[in-house]
Amino acid sequence: MTSLKGEELKGYLGIDVGSVTTKVVLIDYDGSVLWNSYRRTMGQPIRALQSAFSSLKKDLGGVDIRGVGATGSGRKLADHIAGADRVKNEITAHAVSAIHLLPNVRTIVEIGGQDSKLILIRNGVVTDFSMNTVCAAGTGSFLEHQAARLGISIGELGSYALRSASPARIAGRCTVFAESDMIHKQQMGHNLEDIVAGLCDALARNYLNNLARGKDLSSPIIFQGGVAANPGIKAAFEREINKEFIIPGHYPIMGAIGAALLVRDTKDTRFKGLSVSEQRLYTSSFYCSDCPNTCGVIEINDSEKVIARWGDSCGKWANMEE
């Protein structure tokens, strides 16, 4: 986390609420990152967001927020809590930040805690994309789980992989096969470095088989998302397709940066202020049985009052006056 104190800053806030991590950034008009927060969502996205806002207030004191963009799987929640000027899907947010950083980027490989994405860009426009939200074998959570099982920290995984002379061949098609295959390789006597390198290769192959089959991954290729922290995965991808993977300095927060870049033209922000970090907010849900759709409706409550609802296809709950 960056910490700045002093005169009041002006900036644009980008919020990326994911199922594993919540990222908040403050950028200036040129897109430079002034402050950022990256924290675990821990199944409590409201608390993660409120805690990021408290840190922002503590680190920067007064800050003049001119616009707010929200993305990530919890973008609607972020919008209702913070008051976003634009709410965009992750594909757009990641593409915007990558293009801002490298205008001639042609391929974005993004791997986060719970999902992965492939975005193809031609002449600054998204021409194709694919997402994997179902196979855990190609995500950061799987890597973390395996690192813990092997008794090493997630931060050490890359250096182990890079020391391998002969990566073990690990089946990476699904988590169950990968884990049992790793246990089998350990029992056969493969050393830890070769098993970790094999795990990185398996994740890269899993990604390429699930998301990139039949697609043209042309350079320049940007690799972003939390998993880009692992140099073993970068090396595995580069071995598999024999192309360089560029990792941006702000690789884990590129979605939030993209969301912030999208609101730089905001005239009159809807932002509710950093004081939302002090509100007693919680969510609840119910199924509407007024028609066969049986929509799952989510509510955000401030103390005893419902302040927002969504999830209803017809809008009857979202538009209801309290």
Query: Binding residues for ligand SF4, per CB under 6 A?
Result: 288, 290-291, 293-295, 312-314, 316-317
Q: What distance in Å separates the CA atoms of residue 240 and residue 243, rounded to the nearest whole number?
A: 8
Minimum CB distance to ligand SF4 smaller for 244 or for 290:
290
Cβ 318 to ligand SF4 shortest distance, Å: 9
Minimum CB distance to ligand SF4 smaller for 216 or for 290:
290
- Neighbour count for residue 188 (Cβ, 10 Å): 9
CA-CA-CA-CA torsion sign (281, 82, 96, 220): negative
Residue 221, token pair as written in the block = 């290729």
Quick one: which H or E segment has residue 120? strand 116-122
Q: What distance in Å separates the CA atoms of residue 208 and residue 79, rounded to the nearest whole number?
A: 33
Q: Which residues of 215-228 are buried (b: 16+ CB within 10 A; e: fewer)?
A: eebeebbbbbbbbb
Cβ 296 to ligand SF4 shortest distance, Å: 9
Query: What's 17's DSSP letter?
Result: E
Minimum CB distance to ligand SF4 smaller for 273 or for 315:
315
Cβ 293 to ligand SF4 shortest distance, Å: 4
Cβ 298 to ligand SF4 shortest distance, Å: 12
Minimum CB distance to ligand SF4 smaller for 231 or for 311:
311
Minimum CB distance to ligand SF4 smaller for 150 or for 308:
308
Cβ 315 to ligand SF4 shortest distance, Å: 7
Cβ 282 to ligand SF4 shortest distance, Å: 21
Minimum CB distance to ligand SF4 smaller for 278 or for 290:
290
Residue 248, token pair as written in the block = 């941006």
Percent helix, strand, coil in the chain, to 5, is: 40, 25, 35
User: Which among 107, 136, 93, 135 is positioned nearest to 212, based on CA atoms?
Assistant: 107
